[in-house]
Structure 1
Amino acid sequence: MSAEPARQLLIVEDDDALASTLRRSFERRGWSVCRAIDVDTMHEQLRSHSPTHAVVDLKLANGCSGLACVQALHGHDAAMAIVVLTGYASIATAVEAIKLGARHYLAKPANTDDIEAAFARTEGETDVDMTNRTTSIKTLEWERIHETLAETDFNISETARRLGMHRRTLARKLEKQRVK
């Protein structure tokens, strides 16, 4: 009888409280956990750790994009199960995350059960509920903003310029629509 391989998790999250909560919860479930706060510290962790799984926040401090982390992690180990966790959910960033190698994309708040379930998923589901709801102007605006954010690697100033709006207006819209 062979032992179950060690489950090693890398959490890429700049929010200390959330990262600490996730760490404790996963460690109680038998995971070995390390943490990075941005792309640079993630690369440092990869030099000394070999994670089998990763949870990556989409929007990290200093304008750092979690999408760059997903791409680097997938390049490091294509078999790594990567889940993107975000308070800024949009179709555009979800599509990009999956294209870059993420297994799943979850909107915050997500708990350890949600994340482990996402790690376990290897294929899409055909029985996801479809809505007959038409898309509102606000939703279309929100999607366009996030599509442009992804294109600019989450550079707020460049996104505002491309959308033809003032940077502060864009910042207010992002804070107002943030998924908590």
Structure 2
Amino acid sequence: MNELPILIVDDDTTFLRILEQSIKYHNLMVLTASSPEEAGQLMATQSFAYAILDLNLNGQSGLNLLQTLLSHYPDCKVLILTGYASVATAVEAMRIGAYDYLCKPASVKEILNALGLEESNLSESEEAACPSRNENIEQDSFNAMSVKRLEWEHIQKVLMEHDGNISLTAQALNMHRRTLQRKLQKRPVEK
């Protein structure tokens, strides 16, 4: 059992509560926060060896919290968990120091494995109840991305190049700012 608690930060309080209970079921200590401010208060009083951060925290970037967390605890293994994945944000998260990066939905098994935590308490029936999201995908097959997905990836890349500044990104993409904001509010399309 890990002696230090796992920090979980997600603005979706329902998801946060479910993930907290699921991880506690594996006899791991967990502390949660639903905002970067709450996470900062926890970091001021507690040490963390592991953290799970949502990429989008009420419009704020989880990458900023990642930097803050790693400045306090450089050995902390941080997993970025997001429903809005892109190659650009994954590369940036890893560049900053994230230990791993997973797309939602991810099973508890995948999350614990990504952090390198043992799942000794997971029975075969429980393991079968939360199968890997990749088990039905052939590893050797290659599926080209759709045009909409390619657009999403390009927008994310340009957004990262402009440090998240919407106006500069829109200008660089030769697009109206409101159009860019609408595109960013939509969930990314599947590959």
1:139 partner letter: R
Q: Is the 8 A contact 2:24 2:30 kept in 1?
A: yes
Q: CA deviation at 1:172?
A: 3.4
Where does residue 5 of structure 2 map in the other structure? 8
Equivalent residue, structure 2, for 1:169: 179
The amino acid of 1:149's aligned partner reads L
Tell me how far apart the structure 1 counterparts of residues 17 and 86 of structure 2 sit (CA, whole Å): 26
- The aligned amino acid for 1:116 is L
How has the CA–CA distance of structure 1 residues 60 and 162 changed in structure 2, closer, same or farther, with 3 Å as cutoff? farther
Asked if structure 1 preserves the Cα contact closer than 8 Å seen for 2:7 and 2:32, the reply is yes
Number of the residue aligned with 1:20: 17
> Separation in 1 of the partners of 2:162 and 2:141?
30
The 3 A distance-change label for structure 1 pair 45 and 153 is farther
Cα deviation code 1:154-174 (max 9, x no counterpart): 454553343232344334333
Residue aligned with 1:14, SS: coil
| Mapped pair 1:159 → 2:159 | no
CA RMSD of aligned residues (A): 2.4
Q: Which residue of 2 aligns with 1:77?
A: 73
Equivalent residue pairs, number: 170
> CA deviation digits over 1:41-98, x for unaligned, max 9?
211111122121100000110x210011111111111211110001111111001101
TM-score, normalization by structure 2: 0.77
Which of the residues 93, 100, 107 maps onto 2:103?
107
Among candidates 42, 45, 58, match of residue 45 of structure 1:
42
Deviation at 1:153, TM superposition (A): 4.5
8 Å CA contact retained: 2:23, 2:108: yes
Partner residue, 2:30:
33
**Residues in 2 aligned to 1:158 and 1:144: alpha-carbon distance in whole angstroms:** 14
Query: Matches of 1:87 and 1:146 in 2, distance apart?
Result: 14
| Alignment pair present for 1:65 and 2:61 | yes
Alignment gaps of 5+ in structure 2: 118-137
The 1:161/1:54 distance shift into structure 2, 3 A limit, reads same
Question: Once the two structures are superposed, what CA deviation does each residue of 1:13-38 show, in whole Å capped at 9, x if it has no partner?
Answer: 10101101111111111111111223
Which one-letter code corresponds to 1:170 in the other structure?
Answer: L
Work out the CA distance in 1 between the residues paired with 2:95 and 2:33.
22
